[in-house]
Chain A
Amino acid sequence: MTHTAPKPRSFQAIILALQNYWAGQGCAVLQPYDMEVGAGTFHPATTLRALGGQPWAAAYVQPSRRPTDGRYGENPNRLQHYYQYQVLIKPSPPNLQELYLGSLAAIGIDMEMHDIRFVEDDWESPTLGAWGLGWEVWCDGMEVSQFTYFQQVGGHDCHPVSGELTYGLERLAMYVLGVDHVMDMPFNDPDAPIALTYGDVFKQTEEEYARWNFDVADTEVLLRQFEEAEAHCREILDHPATDPKTGKRIVMAHPAYDQCIKASHMFNLLDARGVISVTERQAYIGRVRALAKRCADAFVETRAGGWSEEAA
Chain B
Amino acid sequence: MPDLLIELFSEEIPARMQRRAAEDLQNLVTNGLVEAGLTYVSAAAFSTPRRLSLALEGMLAESPRQVEERKGPRADAPEKAIEGFLRGAGLTRDQLEERETPKGKVLFARIEKPGRPAAEIVAEVLEETVRNFPWPKSMRWGSGSLRWVRPLQSIIALISTEEGASVVPLEIDGIKAGDSTRGHRFMTPEEITVTGFDDYETKLKRAHVMLRAEEREETIWHDATNQAFANGLEVVEDRGLLAEVAGLVEWPVVLMGPIAEDFLGLPPEVLQTSMKEHQKFFSVRNPKTGRIERFVTVANRETRDEGATILAGNEKVLSARLADAKFFWENDLRAATSDAGMATWVKALEKVTFHNKLGTQAELIERMAVLSREIAPMVGADPDLAEQAARIAKADLSSEMVYEFPELQGLMGRYYAKAAGLPAEVAAAAEEHYAPLGPSDEVPTAPVSVAVALAEKIDKLTGFWAIDEKPTGSKDPFALRRAALGVIRILVENDIGLPLYRFVDAQLVRNKGQVNTDLQSALIEELIREIARHGVFGAAWRTIKERADHLLHPEAEEKLGKQVPDKSSNLLAFLHDRLKVYLRDQGIRHDIIDACIAMDGNDDLTLLVKRARALSETLSTDDGENLIQGFKRANNILSQAEEADGVEYSYGADVKFAETEEERTLFKALDAAEAVIAPAMERQDFTTAMSAMADLRGPIDAFFEAVKINADNATVRRNRLNLLSRIRAICSSVADLTRIEG
* Interface residues of A, Cβ cutoff 8 Å to B: 1, 76-77, 91-94, 97, 111-120, 122, 132-135, 139-142, 149, 151, 159-161, 163, 175, 180, 277-279
Contact = CB atoms under 8 A, between A and B. Distances in A.
Contacts of B584: none
Contacts of B312: 140
Given A120-B12, A159-B140, 10 more contacts: A91-B141, A92-B151, A93-B142, A114-B303, A117-B248, A120-B14, A122-B137, A160-B142, A163-B141, A279-B353
B299 interface: yes
B313 A116 contact: no
Given A140-B313, A151-B140, A113 B186 contact: no
B300 interface: yes
Interface in B134-154: 137-143, 149-151, 153
Nearest to B311: A140
Contact of B313 (A97, A118, A139): A139
Contact of A140 (B137, B309, B323): B309
Given A141-B279, A141-B297, A116 B142 contact: no
B11 A97 contact: yes
Contacts of B297: 141
Contacts of A118: 11-12, 49
Given A115-B299, A140-B313, A141-B314, A149 B139 contact: yes
7 contacts: A1-B186, A113-B310, A117-B249, A118-B12, A132-B139, A140-B313, A161-B141
B424 to A, nearest CB: 35
B320 interface: yes
A111 B186 contact: yes
B186 A149 contact: no
Interface in B149-176: 149-151, 153
A140 B310 contact: yes
A91 B316 CA distance: 37
A161 B142 contact: yes
Interface in B251-309: 279, 281, 297, 299-301, 303-305, 309
B209 to A, nearest CB: 15
Given A120-B16, A149-B151, A278-B353, A114 B310 contact: yes
A80 B666 CA distance: 91
A179 to B, nearest CB: 11
Contacts of A115: 299-301, 310, 313
Contacts of A114: 303, 309-310, 313
A140 B314 contact: yes
Nearest to A141: B314
Contact of B140 (A140, A161, A277): A161
A139 B314 CA distance: 9
B12 A135 contact: yes
A163 to B, nearest CB: 8
Contacts of A91: 141-143
Contact of A92 (B141, B279, B305, B313): B141
B431 to A, nearest CB: 26
B15 interface: yes
B318 interface: yes
B62 to A, nearest CB: 35
A87 to B, nearest CB: 16
Most buried by B among A122, A151, A175, A279: A151
A140 B320 CA distance: 14
B189 interface: yes
Interface of B: 11-12, 14-16, 49, 137-143, 149-151, 153, 186, 189, 248-249, 279, 281, 297, 299-301, 303-305, 309-310, 312-314, 316-318, 320, 323, 351-353
Nearest to A77: B320
B274 to A, nearest CB: 13
A111 B353 CA distance: 48
A149 to B, nearest CB: 5
A133 B313 contact: no
B139 A140 contact: no
B142 A94 contact: yes
B139 A151 contact: yes
Contacts of A149: 139-141, 150-151
A139 B150 CA distance: 20
Contacts of B189: 1
A71 B596 CA distance: 64
A280 B14 CA distance: 34
A55 to B, nearest CB: 9
Nearest to A148: B139
B224 to A, nearest CB: 16
Contact of B303 (A112, A117, A122): A112
A135 B248 CA distance: 12
A279 B353 CA distance: 9
B253 to A, nearest CB: 8
A113 B318 CA distance: 19
A113 B310 CA distance: 7
Nearest to B278: A141
A142 B314 CA distance: 7
Most buried by A among B138, B151, B189: B151
Contacts of A279: 353
A159 B137 CA distance: 18
A133 B318 contact: no
A45 B49 CA distance: 32
B289 to A, nearest CB: 26
Contacts of A277: 351
Contacts of A120: 12, 14-16
Contacts of A133: 137-139, 149-150
Contact of B151 (A94, A175, A278): A94
Contacts of A119: 12, 248
Nearest to A157: B140
Contacts of B15: 120
Contact of B304 (A93, A112, A135): A112
Contact of A142 (B141, B305, B317, B352): B317
B180 to A, nearest CB: 16
B143 A160 contact: yes
Given A132-B139, A135-B12, A175-B313, A113 B353 contact: no
A113 B304 CA distance: 7
B136 to A, nearest CB: 11
Contact of B318 (A122, A141, A163): A141
Nearest to B15: A120
B324 to A, nearest CB: 9
A199 to B, nearest CB: 18
A72 B719 CA distance: 97
Nearest to A89: B142
Which 9 pairs across A and B sit closest by C-beta, in order of nearness? A140-B313, A120-B14, A118-B12, A141-B314, A160-B143, A115-B299, A91-B142, A133-B139, A91-B143
A187 B305 CA distance: 30
B359 to A, nearest CB: 14
Contacts of B299: 115
A185 to B, nearest CB: 15
Contacts of A151: 139-140
A143 to B, nearest CB: 9
B147 to A, nearest CB: 10
Contacts of A132: 139
A117 B14 CA distance: 11
Nearest to A150: B139
Contacts of A161: 139-143
A91 B323 CA distance: 42
Contacts of B153: 94
Nearest to A95: B153
A56 B624 CA distance: 81
A229 B139 CA distance: 34
B64 to A, nearest CB: 41
